A and B are shown apart, each in its own frame.
Chain A
Amino acid sequence: AQSVSQHNHHVILSEAASLELGCNYSYGGTVNLFWYVQYPGQHLQLLLKYFSGDPLVKGIKGFEAEFIKSKFSFNLRKPSVQWSDTAEYFCAVNSGTYKYIFGTGTRLKVLA
C-alpha cells in the first residue's frame, strides 16, 4: 500500500535559518507529489507540486522541493525562513487518480 512518511513532526527555527523538511513515499509506480501548507486558522493550500520533468520544483513564497526518484523522496526546502512561514506542512502523493495519501504533517514554528 502507498504510504508517506514525514520524519520531522515539530521543527523550531529562528528567522533566516534554512529549512529542509523530509518526505519519503512508498509506491512502485509513477506518482505525483505535493506539498500543502496550512497556516494557523486557514485552509490547506497547495505550496508546490511535481508531476514530471525537472525534479527541482519551485513553489510559492520561495519554497522549493526536489524529487529524488532513487530515494523515493520529495524534500521541501527554503533557504531563509520568515516568521510568517509558521504553519503545518503536509507532503502528499497520488498515483494519477483522485486519491491522495498524506503524511502526518510537520509543524514549523519560526521564532522572530
Chain B
Amino acid sequence: SAVISQKPSRDICQRGTSLTIQCQVDSQVTMMFWYRQQPGQSLTLIATANQGSEATYESGFVIDKFPISRPNLTFSTLTVSNLSPEDSSIYLCSVMLGTEAFFGQGTRLTVV
C-alpha cells in the first residue's frame, strides 16, 4: 500500500491569490495524479505528474492555471492560480501501485 500525505488539509483563500498543495508519498512512484472534486460532482483528473518531465493535463485544464511540480519520485505540488470562487473544491493527490489507486485525504479549498 501507499501512504499519501497532503498539505494543507484545508484553506480559505482570497480571490486572485494562489494556493500550493503539497503531496508526499511514502514510496517512490513513477506517476502521481491530481484530481479535483467539485461540490456534488465526481472526481475529475486534472493532470498526471511524471518526475523529470512536464505534467500531462487533461482536457479543460491548463498549465497556467494549475502548474505542477514533480522534483522527485516521492513528492509533487499542485498550484491553483488566480483563484476564483469556482475553484472552491477538494483537490486530491493519487498514486497507483499495481492496479490499485491510493489517495491522499484531500485539500478542501474555499475561495472568498
Contact = CB atoms under 8 A, between A and B. Distances in A.
B53 interface: no
Given A43-B104, A43-B105, A32 B99 contact: yes
A104 B100 CA distance: 19
A90 B103 CA distance: 13
Most buried by B among A4, A41, A51, A104: A104
A12 B60 CA distance: 35
B70 to A, nearest CB: 15
A14 to B, nearest CB: 26
B62 interface: no
A49 interface: yes
Interface string A27-52: 00000101010000111111001010
Given A32-B99, A98-B33, A98-B48, A103 B92 contact: no
Contacts of A98: 31, 33, 48, 96
Residues of B in contact with A, size category: 20 to 34
Contacts of B105: 41-43
Contacts of B45: 99-100
Interface string B20-52: 000000000001010000001111110010000
A101 B106 CA distance: 18
Interface in B72-112: 92, 96, 99-106
B99 A105 contact: no
A104 B41 contact: yes
B55 interface: no
B4 interface: yes
A44 B42 contact: no
Interface string A47-79: 001010000000000000000000000000000
A100 B103 CA distance: 12
Contacts of A101: 42
Contacts of B104: 43
